Amino acid sequence: MSKLNQQWETQVVSWEYSSAATPDLNDVPIQPFPASLHEQGDTRVIALDLSTELDTPYPATAPNLLANYIRICTGEKIATCVAATSEVYFVLRGAGRTETAEGTIRWKQGDAFTLPCNQGMTHYADEDAALYWSHDAPLLQYMGVAPTTPIFKPAFYSREYMVSEVEKLREIALREKRNRIGIILGNTASAKTKTMTHTMWSLFNLLPAGEVQKPHRHQSVALDLAVFSGPDTYTMIGKKVDEQGNIIDPVKAMWATNTVFVTPPGWWHSHHNHSDQDAFVFPVQDAGLHTYMRTLDIQFIR
């Protein structure tokens, strides 16, 4: 045996299969991030970082994703640059523009946009503004790789487009008691997986006043942005459901406008609106990746 063989053998370790088939990894926590984080202070990026809870050596909100708030004071600007294949933005408040390698887009409250393989961009605020920014950099950091070639083109989803498309579904969805009343936002490059990008997925979902949306579950982590909600609007989250489809021992995650909370993978969750105001939620997930791998395993209580 050569010295190199012996050197490589020092890296070897093994485990008995039945006791090690499910590794003891840190759970993804149910974690809220209040709007107060982006409502005051200097222009800056605020990472919604759970790396301590997830035991990752890099910032992450979920194993494959990092969510951030970006606060931009009136008349100011901020540059962002990250080694990610996919970036998703949602405008929480204000109006402004973003300068990219492909040109400048203008945005306002309620708009969303996506970009691939970021080489850097600069965001300008015409008035006090905040953006919700999620990307898949943690996935690339875990694999030790960097993006090279963009595989989808940027897309812009106006507030008017999203609201009007969802409103078209309201009546029939309520009549048929559908599990959700929303549109999956897509890109022509990922039409086969019906996702926002090849790794990331988002839904613009309406939760009408006085309504309850029954539980569902999926293996992707959801970084849920409460776009707008009245009082007493929330999500119930739990690992199991009973024979009637009710979540057992749920945790209540309250909605508040422009706040984010994390829904762990595989957990059942239902949405409840006991107010007199319609509510909207914009979850961002790594479901593009799971869909491609055939591991999303979404299930519904009907």
pLDDT at position 230 over 90? yes
Place of tokens 């300008």: 124
Contacts of 42 (CB under 8 A, 6+ apart): 71, 73
Same domain flag for 128 and 246:
no
How far apart are the C-alpha atoms of 101 and 265, rounded to whole Å? 35
Contacts of 199 (CB under 8 A, 6+ apart): 64, 85, 86, 136, 139, 286, 288, 289
pLDDT at residue number 40: 96
Rounded to an integer, the average pLDDT of 99-104 is 94
pLDDT digits (tens, 9 = 90+) for 135-156: 999 999 999 999 999 999 999 9
Last residue of a domain, one of 137, 156, 175: 156
Query: Which residues sit opposite 137 in a β-bridge?
Result: none
pLDDT at position 118 over 80? no
Tell me, yes or no, whether 176 lies in a domain. Answer: yes
pLDDT at position 119 over 80? no
Last residue of a domain, one of 140, 156, 172: 156
Neighbouring C-alpha atoms within 13 Å toward the C-beta of 130: 20
CATH number of domain containing 262: 2.60.120.10
Domains in the chain, number: 2
Helices (H), the chain: 3-9, 17-20, 51-54, 137-143, 159-175, 287-293
pLDDT digits (tens, 9 = 90+) for 164-220: 999 999 999 999 999 999 999 999 999 999 999 999 999 999 999 999 999 999 999
Same domain flag for 150 and 167:
no
pLDDT at residue number 98: 98
Same domain flag for 101 and 189:
no
Q: Which has more confidence, 14 or 1?
A: 14
pLDDT at residue number 302: 82
The pLDDT mean for the chain works out to 97
Per the structure, the complete domain to which residue 200 belongs is given by 158-300
Same domain flag for 145 and 218:
no
Task: Find the range with the poorest average confidence among 30-39, 114-123, 128-137, 139-148.
Answer: 114-123
